[in-house]
């Protein structure tokens, strides 16, 4: 791997996290006024169009993109991610961006914890220790014994579990399906599922929300395009740790744009979770 490629991949990943942070902020704005299923449905329409266009341009075209060794698991992945996005967007409207991401950021630890019993991967005592420390950080964020625990905090936790399972299934199908095949099913299946649900909540958007929705769709497509380019430029193990930057970017946006407050326990707990997550990624890279 050339050095400049690694630098380019890291730069693209940092830019990706910034775009996704903006996307989360716009999602909160639109979903506060309109039904979440409607918002996610329209977002998936543009995402699916982007996925089909990208797949059609690759060698083998759509025929190659559809060819999967795991059709049922690919459909399951697409459904699970679409529903997880709905759960997370709802959390944005109830908890805000900062606390949602402070809890959601524990999903890599869940993937590490579940990769042993589900995928049969070896997880050593160092990673188990990091997982334990990371979940201690989650408890610090939640403060279940301080009388300030919000029942809404369970929502991003559910989202994190869903995304962790999605990640594990993605890792499993990647043994026989290329990333392009998985990407195609992620967009198209999610579009079908969200259309089947969101059509019942259809209502025309008005005023500035039309512009916000258009910007949301554009940031979604741009974010995924940048993510593809980041993984093309450098290995996943090189750029993945920088995905954690979405937390500080999103927290900053939440504080500046939405007047959210970064409580001390949230900052400390999130820092512990991120540190544990980075350690597990490092140990996974070493073990491979």
pLDDT tens, residue by residue, 178-205: 989 999 999 999 999 999 999 999 999 9
**Gyration radius (Cα) of the chain, Å:** 19
Q: What percent of the chain has pLDDT over 70?
A: 95
Instruction: Report the Cα–Cα distance between both ends of the chain, in Å, rounded.
Output: 17
The contacts of residue 86 (CB under 8 Å, 6+ apart) are 36, 37, 40, 194
Say yes or no to pLDDT of 19 above 80.
Answer: yes
Q: Are 93 and 32 in contact (CB under 8 A)?
A: yes
Q: Which two tokens stand for residue 37?
A: 């299923």
pLDDT band at 259 (very low <50, low <70, confident <90, very high): very high
Tell me the H-state helices in 143-199: 154-173, 179-198
User: What pLDDT does 238 receive?
Assistant: 78
pTM for the predicted model, two decimal places: 0.89
For range 114-118, the mean pLDDT: 79
User: What pLDDT does 151 receive?
Assistant: 82
Tens digits of per-residue pLDDT, 76-102?
999 999 999 999 999 999 999 999 999
Q: How far is CA 134 from CA 3, 141, 154, in A?
A: 32, 11, 17
């Amino acid at each position: 791997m050339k050095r400049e490629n690694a630098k380019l991949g890291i730069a693209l990943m940092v830019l990706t996290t910034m775009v996704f942070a903006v996307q989360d902020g716009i999602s909160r704005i639109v979903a506060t006024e309109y039904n979440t299923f409607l918002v996610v449905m329209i977002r998936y329409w543009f995402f699916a169009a982007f996925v089909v266009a990208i797949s059609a341009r690759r060698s083998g075209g759509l025929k190659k993109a559809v060819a999967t060794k795991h059709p049922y698991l690919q459909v399951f992945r697409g459904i699970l991610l679409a529903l997880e996005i709905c759960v997370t967007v709802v959390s944005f409207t109830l908890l805000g961006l900062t606390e949602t991401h402070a809890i959601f950021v524990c999903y890599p630890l869940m993937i590490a914890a579940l990769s042993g019993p589900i995928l049969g991967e070896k997880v050593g005592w160092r990673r188990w220790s990091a997982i334990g420390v990371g979940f201690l950080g989650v408890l610090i964020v939640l403060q279940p014994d301080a009388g300030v625990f919000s029942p809404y905090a369970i929502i991003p936790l559910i989202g994190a579990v869903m995304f962790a399972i999605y990640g594990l299934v993605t890792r499993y199908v990647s043994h026989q399906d290329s990333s392009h095949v998985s990407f195609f099913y992620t967009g198209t299946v999610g579009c079908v599922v969200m259309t089947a649900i969101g059509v019942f909540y259809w209502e025309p958007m008005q005023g500035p929300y039309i512009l916000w929705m258009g910007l949301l769709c554009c940031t979604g497509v741009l974010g995924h395009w940048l993510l593809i380019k980041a993984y093309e430029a450098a290995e996943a193990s090189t750029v993945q740790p920088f995905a954690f930057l979405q937390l500080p970017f999103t927290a900053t946006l939440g504080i500046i744009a939405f007047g959210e407050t970064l409580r001390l326990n949230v900052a400390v707990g999130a820092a512990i979770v991120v540190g544990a997550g980075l350690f597990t990624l490092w140990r996974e890279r070493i073990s491979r």
